């Protein structure tokens, strides 16, 4: 099972993520949020709130209880192999 090891904000709504399969990806949350809605996801549209992400048990999370699947994040990211 793939996990998020660490993530850093590189631009508003853009995260550079290292995954447990030794890949690195760029996750564009704008693209992700453009096709999804819901009370938990709606809070992520606020740039200040989006920046409050953290990693818990290999998943990307926010204080409102939202947890994005590492596999889904990996699938939605532009992936590069790391050395």
Write the pLDDT tens digit of every residue in 9-62: 999 999 999 999 999 999 999 999 999 999 999 999 999 999 999 999 999 999
| Structural contact between residues 27 and 73, judged by C-beta atoms closer than 8 angstroms | yes
The domain defined by 4-81 carries CATH number 3.30.2020: yes
User: Chain-centre distance of CA 47, in angstroms?
Assistant: 14
Whole-prediction pTM: 0.90
Residue 1 has pLDDT above 70, yes or no: yes
What's the CA gap between 33 and 24, in Å, rounded?
21
CA distance 51 to 8: 9
């Amino acid at each position: 099972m793939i996990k998020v090891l660490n993530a850093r904000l590189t631009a508003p709504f853009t995260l550079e993520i290292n995954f447990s399969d030794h890949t690195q990806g760029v996750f564009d949350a704008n693209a992700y949020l453009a096709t999804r809605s819901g009370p938990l996801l709606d809070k992520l549209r606020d740039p200040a709130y989006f920046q409050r992400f953290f990693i818990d048990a290999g998943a990307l999370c926010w204080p409102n209880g939202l947890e994005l699947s590492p596999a889904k994040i990996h699938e939605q990211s532009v992936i590069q192999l790391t050395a």
